Amino acid sequence: MKTNIVFTANTDTVTEGDVIDIQWNCSPAESVRLTIDNGFKSSTIDIENSGSKRFRLNRSKGKTKLTITAVNEGKEYSKTLKIKVKEMEVINAETVNNNQNSFFNNFRHSNGGKFSNWWQNTKMKLLYAWMALPPNKKIAYIILNFLMLLLIIAMIFPKFLMFGLILIIIYLLYVLMKKN
């Protein structure tokens, strides 16, 4: 006898961190399992033939797939729901200066705070951009930065040009010869 699967969710679009409610009914079935795949990791749990559960969808590559698989008389039957998961908006926290009467505190927080926040945000963006680069582009950026530094130094001290070029050649040979 074929297993009839009823599988629903309260929504098909959520934001990271939101809770989703799912309901299912698989009858008849010898065993039922639920698989959750967020694009990074897949988890499977055994569940009852019918019921409901709540899940918080935290991290996703744009969509999370929820799959119910029922086994009946040696045959597997499944149904999949695709939930679109929007990235959570990041909001920067601000500090509030409770001591408004102090000239020094007002000056320090109004000037240093904005620059400090900008610098922290810039460092994090550069770090994430660097981590996302493929290895061959990282090597190209290292060599490009070294060449620009070498040209600036060579304008002041021309004798360093040959020395710097030799260092670049040694570095490139090292990259080519190292084992992955």
| 180 residues of the chain, pLDDT tens digit each | 788 889 999 988 888 888 899 999 988 888 999 999 988 888 899 999 889 999 888 778 888 999 999 998 889 899 999 989 888 776 666 665 555 444 444 444 445 567 778 888 888 888 888 888 888 888 888 888 888 998 898 899 888 888 888 888 888 888 888 876
Contact status, residue 50 vs residue 24, Cβ threshold 8 Å = yes
What is d(CA 137, CA 129) in angstroms, rounded to the nearest whole number? 11
DSSP 16: T
Q: Indicate whether this model's pTM tops 0.75.
A: no
Contact status, residue 143 vs residue 174, Cβ threshold 8 Å = no
